Chains A and B, each alone.
Chain A
């Protein structure tokens, strides 16, 4: 159970970090994330089909393509002539990107085993003890987390964090807050595209059939926010409470992703054996119930208003 959670959580964690940037700092629940995750996979598929039998070239391309998609969403939302609603602009770009993904890959399923001779990760991790790969991926998560918090701590990052809440501060200084929204969305989608690339590599399969990663990612973000809130309200006295640094704030999607994948594998491994549920169809229902129960339990412990309520997400 722990192993399957460990092997799944790095992908979800990286995607959650990306999504969390737009959700929390830009106040922009970005549905494009769903497509840019898939785009990260299909970039790998495209590069493999075109003779680049090496996943590292796709790793360079994936964030660039993801950033472009995020920029398009930001442009649709912030452009003076269009100013499309946040959800709609994300959705439009996501739908358009699905088509592009299929065109890039040509087929809905592409196994990486056909190209195994050239792939770097196969050569390293095949034949290793079975915990090595999840641990290596966890180190990757820590690297992404560290570099993200470092970037968001620069004055540029501070401006991105301002653009969602108080755009007038930027406008008075002669800067355009819209450009920071576009930049932030590009950044977040680039990270998610890397997660998509990682998903294809870890599962050894480019699969364009799993829509709806955005729901998993959103669940992970909310759970993480919630856990962090409960922990602070339990262990930090109210008078001593300070603003969480970005270091801690960005920890919440990672924790959330871990807990979410733990719940998921718990449902699959434990419950499906004892209760008579068919895994493929009832899984989402049981996960949803588990999350609701967990939040209910935590709210009893935390006794406070949680961040999601205050920010109105």
Chain B
């Protein structure tokens, strides 16, 4: 049942600090990410969750080679992974993934275009495809997979993203990246800045999307609000960072835990 999508192979992340001689965050940590399973990564602050994600996404230098894609023996780096799989990212602060100069719909449209960019990655096709109002309206119709996204966006298509609340933006981010086919969705504490009501709304929106799409999710969270939401009806795994390794967390006993 569990088919691995990628596996993390002996990843070591270390920083050189002026005070401490060398801070090792992860020491040859290995784990497997299964297809169509939600992975929750837990750990206290400073245990290296964000560093791990940034290295996985290729945002951090040095660009380490530690990922093995299923069925392939060579190790690749985060940046190469982004070229092979359709990776999408939702940061903790929703504004980090939105451009201040563009309206909310242009932002969401851009993100969906970028994820599917390798499907038509040629310059001329890109140049021909003008994001006219018609295009954006067509895209807006695809966004309505989440009932809440539809509610939020009603009559506000051209507003700047700063006029939306954090919870609304996270749900819109989720709707945008899920409007196209994504292989791996990485979320770095997507509900970190939200209150309890919005947290549950966010996880419920995720569950709503997972009913129609097969996506592998990798997310960090401090909270247990996801356990109260509908996400638990979907196969999930709990991982935690313990003693500089990524290990399976057996403290929860969900029926759908893989």
Do residues B158 and A173 form an inter-chain contact, with CB atoms below 8 A?
no
| Bound Cα distance A249, B15 (Å) | 43
- Tell me if A168 is interfacial: C-beta within 8 Å of chain B: yes
Task: Please tell me which one of the listed residues A150, A165, A173 contacts residue B114 in the complex, with CB atoms under 8 A apart.
Answer: A173
Do residues B113 and A155 form an inter-chain contact, with CB atoms below 8 A?
yes
Do residues A158 and B110 form an inter-chain contact, with CB atoms below 8 A?
yes
| Bound Cα distance A153, B105 (Å) | 13
Do residues A172 and B99 form an inter-chain contact, with CB atoms below 8 A?
no
Residues of A within 8 A of B4 (CB): none
| Bound Cα distance A153, B106 (Å) | 9
CB closest chain-B residue, reference A172:
B89
CB closest chain-B residue, reference A169:
B97
Task: Please tell me which one of the listed residues B99, B117, B127 contacts residue A173 in the complex, with CB atoms under 8 A apart.
Answer: B117
Do residues A168 and B96 form an inter-chain contact, with CB atoms below 8 A?
yes
Query: How many residues of A are counted as interface, with CB atoms below 8 angstroms from the partner's CB atoms?
Result: 26
- Tell me if B247 is interfacial: C-beta within 8 Å of chain A: no
Q: A154 to nearest B CB, angstroms?
A: 5
Do residues A156 and B127 form an inter-chain contact, with CB atoms below 8 A?
yes
Do residues B130 and A154 form an inter-chain contact, with CB atoms below 8 A?
yes
Interface size band for B? 35 or more
Residues of B within 8 A of A154 (CB): 126-131
**In the complex where A154-B126, A155-B110, A171-B57 touch, is A24 in contact with B131 (Cβ < 8 A)?**
no
Interface string of B63-100 (1 = CB under 8 A from A): 00000000000000001001100011100000011111
- Tell me if B23 is interfacial: C-beta within 8 Å of chain A: no
**In the complex where A151-B127, A169-B97 touch, is A242 in contact with B114 (Cβ < 8 A)?**
no
Q: B217 to nearest A CB, angstroms?
A: 15
- Tell me if B111 is interfacial: C-beta within 8 Å of chain A: yes
Residues of B within 8 A of A162 (CB): 99, 102, 110
Q: A279 to nearest B CB, angstroms?
A: 40
- Tell me if A166 is interfacial: C-beta within 8 Å of chain B: yes
Q: Which label, helix, strand, loop or mixed, suits the secondary structure of the A interface? A: helix
- Tell me if B17 is interfacial: C-beta within 8 Å of chain A: no
**In the complex where A162-B110, A171-B82, A172-B57 touch, is A153 in contact with B99 (Cβ < 8 A)?**
no
- Tell me if B218 is interfacial: C-beta within 8 Å of chain A: no
| Bound Cα distance A207, B132 (Å) | 42
- Tell me if B123 is interfacial: C-beta within 8 Å of chain A: yes
| Bound Cα distance A170, B97 (Å) | 10
Do residues A172 and B88 form an inter-chain contact, with CB atoms below 8 A?
yes
Residues of B within 8 A of A165 (CB): 99-101
Do residues A242 and B126 form an inter-chain contact, with CB atoms below 8 A?
no
From A155, A158, A175, residue with most partner B Cβ within 10 Å? A155
Identify 27 residue pairs between A and B in the complex whose beta-carbon atoms are under 8 Å apart, listed by A's number: A25-B101, A153-B132, A154-B127, A155-B117, A155-B126, A155-B131, A156-B126, A161-B99, A161-B101, A162-B110, A165-B101, A166-B98, A166-B99, A169-B99, A169-B114, A171-B82, A172-B59, A172-B82, A172-B87, A172-B88, A173-B82, A173-B117, A174-B79, A174-B87, A174-B117, A175-B117, A242-B103
Q: Which 8 A-B pairs have the closest CB atoms?
A: A174-B82, A243-B103, A173-B114, A174-B83, A242-B158, A156-B126, A172-B89, A243-B160
Interface residues of A (CB under 8 A from B): 24-25, 150-151, 153-156, 158-159, 161-162, 165-166, 168-175, 242-243, 245, 249
Query: Beyond A168-B97, A173-B114: 15 further Cβ-contacts under 8 Å?
Result: A150-B130, A153-B131, A154-B126, A155-B114, A158-B109, A162-B99, A162-B110, A166-B96, A169-B111, A170-B114, A173-B87, A174-B83, A175-B117, A242-B158, A242-B160
